[in-house]
């Protein structure tokens, strides 16, 4: 695959992101493509390894190894190297419903599993992926293809994030009549309101939604299932139900002063920002212009809060991480396919450094309490430095510090569904906040109800959501294809 000596001849080239300081002046997507020649050179680096791990798609010690979608990465790398772009898209589309999303916002476990990464920079898979699909749209290769026949079976998909959209897409291709329910006013779930526009332009989400609608999928927005439509109505109208509700309940920080005004969950901030941008008007805005901001928590959500705060014009910005600073990456076999984090600078941190002169992150910091201005508003917080000993957190005496701050964003991850009572009304079993399914088939304890994505797996990656949605769709299709009167429970070994 690729050029036999390509990995020796060409170095990894990163995509063009634009100047960090200038791009915060707008909300436009900062991604740009490399030239065709450079993309071909990057495809040439795919080294025809004996056992490629990039598309394995499994979990090892809590970390994702390779692509959960089992993308045929060496194949479309080779096709790009040879200039066969349409064939490359056809191979990509076999496994990935939405490469225009994953190519922009997926953290690319495929690249961290690349064999070349043992002792060199891995193949630049993610950029090649998004370049393939963007060319496919530009060339008109992606058009509406409704199924020629319908099965007479109907399916309700609850939630329109990546799991729900992937499930709906696959079920529609099988000829089933699919209705997607979304409680927000627009389709897309976190793709629409949880990921800032500069990372994923909303026109790209809407373009895919319009294509799915043209292929026959019905979308119903502003409907909260369990409130606006009952469980009984769902069962009466649909032959099967797929729960793709996500895990939107944020992890809180229940310390002294949490009730003060000025402390927000990260997703609340990001959602309001995107809603305001799309509506071109203020919608209960959280505006940090000229304010001192602290983001508590790392990860993609924390980075998105950093980038959004900068674009709103914050006065200062600090980001807390409770873990120590990761070590710099070393090109050795010891670090390959491991769960050890390595130090990385994402777009938000590079933008903050361009504006304020330093990386905004403070490591090994524990927030102890929030302080008030005496009128119910946040005016600061107190922290202490911590150390880690065999996984045990220890506070370091004498390191207490006060930080003046007007606005705090909690980016501490998610714990599960916001309203699990709906799951109970459906009769499905849950384990803490996640829906329990049988084996790999995504079938719940109720024979005609299935689940996929974060509501079943727990907080995870967009590629896992799409993969789970596809698996659920196949299980639903098998269920709906069974002869009348036969067993309604799928084999856990199938």
Tell me the C-alpha distance between 437 and 430, whole Å: 9
Q: Is 213 helix (H, G, I), strand (E, B) or coil?
A: helix
CA–CA distance from 413 to each of 198, 246, 260, 274 (Å)?
A: 21, 13, 21, 19
Of residues 112 and 492, more confidently modeled? 112
Q: Is 14 helix (H, G, I), strand (E, B) or coil?
A: coil
pLDDT at residue 345 is higher than 60: yes
Q: Which residue range(s) make up the domain with 29?
A: 6-139
Residue 1 lies in a domain: no
Of 368, 385, 412, the last residue of a domain is: 412
Contact 285, 272 (CB under 8 A): yes
Residue 391 and residue 319 share a domain: yes
Largest CA-CA distance found in the chain, in angstroms, rounded: 72
Residue 149 lies in a domain: no
pLDDT average, residue stretch 6-25: 89
Residue 80 and residue 56 share a domain: yes
Of 412, 431, 450, the last residue of a domain is: 412
Of residues 217 and 439, more confidently modeled? 217
Structural domain tally of the chain?
Answer: 3
Q: What is the pTM of this model?
A: 0.94
In CATH, what number is assigned to the domain containing residue 268?
3.50.50.60
Residue 323 and residue 193 share a domain: no
Residue 408 and residue 273 share a domain: yes
Tell me the C-alpha distance between 359 and 302, whole Å: 14
Of 412, 430, 461, the last residue of a domain is: 412
Residue 147 lies in a domain: no
Residue 257 and residue 240 share a domain: no
pLDDT in tens, 60-81: 877 889 999 999 999 999 999 9
pLDDT in tens, 128-148: 999 999 999 999 999 999 999
Residue 277 and residue 227 share a domain: no
Contact 219, 180 (CB under 8 A): yes
Residue 395 and residue 302 share a domain: yes
Residue 485 lies in a domain: no
- Residue 333 is predicted with a pLDDT of 64
pLDDT in tens, 385-411: 999 998 899 999 999 999 999 999 999
Residue 109 and residue 213 share a domain: no
- The conformation of residue 144, written as its DSSP 8-state character, comes to -
Residue 280 and residue 331 share a domain: yes
Residue 193 and residue 61 share a domain: no
392 Cβ contact partners less than 8 Å away, ≥ 6 residues apart: none
Residue 351 lies in a domain: yes
In CATH, what number is assigned to the domain containing residue 114?
1.10.1060.10
Residue 344 lies in a domain: yes
Residue 320 and residue 307 share a domain: yes
Residue 384 and residue 284 share a domain: yes
pLDDT at residue 83 is higher than 70: yes
């Amino acid at each position: 695959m690729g050029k036999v000596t390509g990995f020796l001849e060409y170095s990894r080239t990163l995509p063009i992101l634009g100047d960090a300081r200038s791009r915060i002046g707008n909300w436009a997507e900062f991604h740009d493509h490399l030239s065709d020649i450079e993309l071909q050179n990057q495809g040439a680096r795919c080294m025809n390894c004996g056992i490629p791990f990039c598309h394995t798609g499994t979990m090892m010690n809590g970390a994702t190894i390779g692509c959960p979608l089992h993308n045929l990465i060496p194949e479309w790398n080779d096709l790009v190297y040879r200039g066969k772009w349409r064939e490359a898209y056809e191979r990509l589309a076999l496994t990935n419903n939405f490469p225009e999303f994953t190519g922009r916002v997926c953290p690319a476990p495929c690249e961290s599993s690349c064999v070349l990464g043992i002792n060199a920079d891995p193949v630049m898979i993610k950029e090649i992926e998004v370049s393939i699909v963007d060319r496919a749209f530009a060339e008109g290769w992606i058009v509406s293809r409704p199924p020629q026949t319908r099965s007479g079976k109907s399916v309700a998909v609850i939630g329109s994030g990546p799991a729900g959209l992937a499930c709906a897409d696959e079920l529609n291709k099988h000829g089933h009549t699919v209705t997607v329910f979304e409680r927000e006013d627009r389709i897309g779930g976190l793709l629409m309101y949880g990921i800032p526009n500069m990372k994923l332009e909303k026109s790209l989400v809407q373009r895919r939604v319009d294509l799915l609608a043209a292929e026959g999928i019905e979308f119903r927005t502003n409907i909260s299932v369990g409130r606006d439509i009952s469980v009984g109505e769902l069962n009466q109208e649909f032959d099967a139900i797929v729960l793709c509700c996500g895990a939107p309940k944020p992890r809180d920080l229940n310390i002294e002063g949490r009730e003060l005004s000025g402390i927000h969950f990260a997703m609340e901030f990001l959602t309001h920002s995107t809603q305001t941008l799309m509506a071109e008007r203020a919608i209960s805005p959280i505006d940090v212009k000229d304010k001192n901001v602290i983001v508590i928590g790392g990860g993609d959500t924390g980075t998105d809060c950093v980038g959004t705060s900068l674009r709103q014009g914050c006065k200062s910005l600090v980001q807390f991480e409770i873990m120590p600073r990761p070590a710099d990456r070393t090109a050795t076999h010891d670090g390959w396919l491991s769960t050890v984090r390595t130090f990385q600078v994402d777009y938000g941190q590079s933008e903050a450094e361009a504006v304020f002169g330093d990386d905004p992150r403070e490591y090994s910091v524990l927030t102890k309490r929030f302080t008030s201005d005496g009128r119910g508003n946040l005016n600061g917080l107190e922290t202490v430095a911590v150390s880690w000993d065999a996984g045990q957190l220890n506070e370091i005496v004498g390191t207490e510090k006060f930080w003046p701050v007007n606005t705090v964003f909690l980016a501490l991850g998610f714990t599960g569904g916001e309203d699990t009572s709906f799951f109970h009304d459906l009769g499905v079993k849950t384990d803490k906040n996640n829906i329990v399914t049988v084996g790999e088939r995504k079938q719940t304890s109720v024979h005609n109800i299935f689940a996929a994505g974060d509501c079943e797996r727990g907080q995870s990656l967009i590629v896992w959501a799409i993969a789970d949605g596809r698996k659920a769709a196949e299980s639903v299709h098998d269920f709906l294809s069974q002869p009348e009167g036969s067993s309604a429970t799928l084999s856990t070994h199938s």
